[in-house]
Chains A and B, each alone.
Chain A
Amino acid sequence: MLLSKFRCLHEIGSVALFGVLIRWIISTNPYSGKGKPPMFGDFEAQRHWMEITYNLPVSEWYHNSTANDLSYWGLDYPPLTAYHSWICGFIANRINSSWIALSESRGIETESHKVFMRATAIIADLLVYILPICALGYQRRTHHGGFPYIIRICAEICVLLLAPPQILIDHGHFQYNCVSLGLTAWAILFVNDEKDVTAAVLFSLALNYKHMSLYLALPFFFYLLGRCHQAGRKAGSTKLVKIGAAVIGTFILCWWPYLWNFDDATQVVRRLFPFSRGIFEDKVANVWCALNIIVKLHRFNTGVLAAVSTLATLFGNVFSSLDLFRNPNDHKFRYALVNSALAFFLFSFQVHEKGILLPVLPATLLLTDDPIAATWFIIAATFSMFPLLLKDGLALPTYAMVTLFLTLSCTLLEWKLPRYGERVSKHGPQNEEEEQHQYDFACALMTISVMGFVILSLGCQFAPVYQRLPDLWTLLLSVYSCGHFVLFFIYFHVKQFEAQPILHKQRRKTMKAE
């Protein structure tokens, strides 16, 4: 989908600019690890990677050496992140070389440097994340020459762009999740456009930027496989070969410098998957952390835990993946993305709080089709990261962003319960009334649940700390969020099984008629 196909560019552009504005306002807030030597935080990690990649040759990036102390924020993301850091480092060097001076620049905290880092994140966000989100919002309303309902499109794009988790983490806490998420969004855009090879290439790039994108890999795999299967034996296998070649080609290109030496490659892989860190970190809102309250998991062998968690993850993925393979369509695909990412988040080994960003991306795209559930889920995801954000001094922006998002979502989107399958055909006053009841019930439940989040988050900030249970409120919050995620996991599965195609409805019908 080319940019030239857009109509009403300047309206959409102004909405995108509003998104950038909000991001920039958030970025005036403090970042992670500000003024906290000796390790600082993710902000320093990103800066350190620029320093390392700019000053050292490619082969040394992942190796421990005197110049590259891996215990101080060593590079542990795939090569595309490293290249991105190199580009940023190159620009930083042109502006002010002291920002990335090798080992002398550690913990640098000047105002101009902060603005530089913030600007790199926002530019990356604009180019890689905001653009595909705008395109997806546009595509949703204009498929098959539909009327460009410009106010509706702008309203939807505005809500999609203001989903708080990614904004708060990227521009408050500081990371470049927007790149991997944005590449995934581009891939989804091309999937919707039925350009499967391009989509596969883009998703491979996302994987090579941040390996956490693996959370979303299974739906991509099964969707593309299902599409090949659907296309028939001959055309399907050709397509499969094409996609496979494209993926392998992308990987080879990204890993080019490391392919010539087996040691280098294994070192990178070791850095990417550190099994030594334990099954979960801090108080993450997944099943293992909740289970840990009852059964102390650290007594078990790490290998056993890894095996159990992998099995659980795979089991969590089976239903949604098989369903997607049997009946691949754009709508099921979005639900499957949420389901798969949630399965990984809930059950897999070594999960981080920020992992929730991955299910949030497809959930954001579901905002137009299933607004209540998606909004609710996104808010729950935001609050599940609250302890992290609180540590960075981002409590007030979190509340503000959630309020903004909730308000815009419930006024700009058509809040209704999704109706798919057989239920669509039923019409009549009685049914309408029943739906109204369901709608009111859903809204009431959501209000109660969000109130719960607010109370727990306030508890994290202001409640007195008990000596025996110092992390009581944080733990309560994470268990509460975990409960939400498990229920959403079930709900989204149900919805996935019901989902009918949206974008290619007409074409499917005509195909059947033929």
Chain B
Amino acid sequence: MEETRGKAPWLRRPPMKGEGIASSSRRDSSGGTLMSAEERLRMMRVIQAREMGGSYHEDPYAPHAGAPDQATRKDNNKSSAFTVLLIAVTTVKLLLFTSYRSTDFEVHRNWLAITHSLPMRQWYVDATSEWTLDYPPLFAWLEFCLSHIARFFDARMLKVQNLNYSSPQTILFQRLTVVLADSVYIYAVSEGCRLLTSRLTSRSRNILYSPATVYSLLMLWNVGLLIVDHIHFQYNGFLLGLLQLAVFRVVERRFLAAAFYVSVALNMKHIFLYMAPAFGVYLLRQCCFPNSPHLDIREFNVKNFAALGSIFALVTAIAFGPFAVFGQLPQVFRRLFPFQRGLTHAYWAPNVWALYNGADTALTVLNKRFHFLVQSVQHVADSASSPDNSTLDAVPLVGTEQLKIQSLTGGVVGAGEPNILPAVSPSVTMCLTILGMFPALWSLWRAKVGTPNLASGDVFVRGLVGVTLSSFLFGWHVHEKAILLAIVPLTWLAISSANDARLFLLLSTAGLTGLHPLLFTPSEIPLKYMMIFLYIYAAFKVLKDRFSVVRLPGRRYCLPLLNRIETLYVLGFLPVEFYNAVVHESILGLCTKLPFLPLMVTSMYCAIGVVYVYVLIVIDLFRLSR
């Protein structure tokens, strides 16, 4: 079933692709073991035409699909691409065991210890380590289960007092749990492949660019997850697997299963609140008003509502129940929502507030030079030892005011407040987030009801991405890792429409590059750049081939699927990151003067891309819901 929307005029699928391949492979199998000279010539022409920027009507790799060799043919079944990608990425994960791990490693070890050796009443109270338990209880239950296996590896990791304990067995165990927990994610990806093959069967017989292969490549090798889970250390793959399963159940219109997966995910990590409104609105609309194209309160389906509500309530009760019995709910929620942590995370996530803080910093610098503001902030600049020095962090650290400036550009966790622009309160971010979600929620509410049509799933996924991006852009104390919550569902859309593929390419370029400051140790710096570059390269490559982009003369100097400005933006990452990685420290020697400038530049540059994608998605939502 072909997507009809989202087709820009410059994109065109080659007609009759499947047929061409089928016939050529037939010819191959009957013709003998070697490719004929004519065929070779024809392929040369096709490739040449393609390189000249012209169009072609056959898949250049078609003969490969019907490879003459028996052994190859035996291997080239549908599942093998998935299996190969899976095995390869798993071995890479194993190889990463000894690489850098962040404090999150100790965080999770501490949680293992807390859940194993303390009574349940103490779980959300204990503060032996500074890394207190701040995930919802279902995750604590998971850690509790894991800790019973951990005993067999090294029992000493389960002592709460053993802070920063990292014996080789501990590392092995914890890393292995992440790899094994990823099986949920892998199951979700295989479910996605199943859906894609059932949906887009007649498209292409070529294994290499079949939707399922492209999807499994983009998902299994998601570099963001490799960086965050397998180097930095967290369990996002597992949780995003739950999210994926929920999305697929919605696409299949199995809403109760979807509700179950969402509830589990929410009770595992409350970051899924970012997208919960999308699920809430869509499920309510689809389940509770199943028969009314126009909203009619008399047709409210109480039975479905009760079913949805009871699933959510049951999961939540299992998770939070014991703590409610202990009367610890306020304490648990204090741990879960630490509002004292400040507007932006240590490293600014690439969102609106990064731009806001960036603008504030720029104003501060300008103010120091031109003194256009005579306000309380003026003394910040005046107390500097060299007032005519225009660079911000040239100020030596003498007073608290300087610390304040430093903390804005710095990696200090805390409530860094802007100097010149007004401070932002949690309620403001809340209002902005809801406002930003509105278009997406509106489109979800307006979505057609009750059509058992897989394309309607895409409406939901697009709305979901809109909602998540809005939370990411406007939320309070957002982590840069949260961008994965938007990238993962967007991958699903990218497979079926070229316009969404373009959004995916932009968002993954901006979002994944925005993740790289997580890794800063010398041996991981080249690693992260290579990984991110290769992933983005591969994404461009496979999506370009998947949509068989034909370049128009006006788009000669553009990356596939992008227009000129977007191309410039994506290519702009190369000089920006080159400056950050090499020029700033080694050539200009500014790492002591302006230690945090590279982080600031990265997060602001990425923020521009994320905001742009958000705007495009909102426009799409309006366009499509009309």
Residues of A within 8 A of B (CB): 11, 14, 17-18, 20-22, 24-30, 111-112, 114-115, 118-119, 146-149, 151-152, 396-397, 399-401, 403-404, 407-408, 410-412, 414-416, 432, 436, 439
Contacts and interface: CB of A to CB of B under 8 A. Distances in A.
Nearest to A439: B71
B586 to A, nearest CB: 10
B523 A416 contact: no
A21 B40 contact: no
B538 A14 contact: yes
B596 to A, nearest CB: 21
Given A29-B98, A408-B84, A147 B75 contact: no
B530 interface: yes
Chain B binding surface SS class: helix
Interface in B83-101: 84, 87-88, 91-92, 94-100
Given A22-B92, A400-B92, 8 more contacts: A27-B523, A112-B522, A115-B523, A147-B43, A396-B94, A397-B95, A404-B87, A411-B84
Nearest to A112: B522
Contacts of A21: 527, 530-531, 534
Contacts of A439: 71
B526 interface: yes
A416 B69 contact: yes
B92 A14 contact: no
Contacts of B531: 21
Contact of A414 (B72, B92, B530, B533): B72
Nearest to B89: A404
A442 to B, nearest CB: 11
A25, A118, A396, A397 — most chain B CB neighbours (10 Å): A25
A403 B70 CA distance: 23
27 contacts: A14-B538, A17-B534, A21-B527, A24-B526, A28-B96, A28-B100, A28-B523, A111-B522, A115-B523, A146-B40, A147-B40, A147-B43, A152-B64, A396-B97, A397-B95, A400-B94, A400-B95, A401-B91, A403-B87, A404-B87, A404-B92, A408-B84, A411-B75, A414-B67, A415-B71, A416-B71, A432-B70
Given A403-B87, A410-B75, A111 B523 contact: yes
B88 A404 contact: yes
B383 to A, nearest CB: 36
Contacts of B99: 25, 28
A28 B91 contact: no
B557 interface: no
A17 B71 contact: no
B86 to A, nearest CB: 9
B331 interface: no
A373 to B, nearest CB: 14
Contact of B70 (A112, A118, A404, A436): A436
Contact of A404 (B72, B91, B97): B91
A341 B352 CA distance: 63
B521 interface: yes
A112, A411, A416 — most chain B CB neighbours (10 Å): A411
Nearest to A158: B88
Contacts of B64: 149, 151-152
Interface string B509-546: 00000000000011110110011011001100100000
B534 A111 contact: no
Contacts of B23: none
A432 B40 CA distance: 25
Contacts of A407: 84, 87-88, 91
A25 B534 contact: no
A249 B600 CA distance: 56
Contacts of B522: 111-112, 115
A114 B100 CA distance: 14
B208 interface: yes
B208 A147 contact: no
Contacts of B40: 146-147
Nearest to A20: B530
A62 to B, nearest CB: 33
Nearest to B68: A414
A408 B534 contact: no
Contacts of B70: 416, 432, 436
A151 B534 CA distance: 16
Contact of A114 (B43, B84, B523, B524): B523
B523 A17 contact: no
Nearest to B76: A411
B80 interface: yes
B61 interface: yes
Contact of B208 (A20, A29, A151, A403): A151
Contacts of A147: 40, 43-44
B98 A30 contact: yes
A25 B95 contact: yes
B69 to A, nearest CB: 5
Nearest to A416: B71
Interface string B6-43: 00000000000000000000000000000000001001
B105 to A, nearest CB: 15
Interface string B151-181: 0000000000000000000000000000000
A401 B92 CA distance: 9
B34 to A, nearest CB: 11
Contacts of B95: 22, 25-26, 29, 396-397, 400-401
B98 to A, nearest CB: 5
A238 B67 CA distance: 46
A199 B44 CA distance: 32
Contacts of A26: 95
Contacts of B71: 414-416, 439
Contacts of B97: 396
Contacts of B47: 148
Which 8 residue pairs are nearest across A and B when measured between Cβ atoms?
Answer: A400-B94, A404-B91, A400-B91, A28-B99, A115-B522, A407-B87, A21-B530, A415-B71
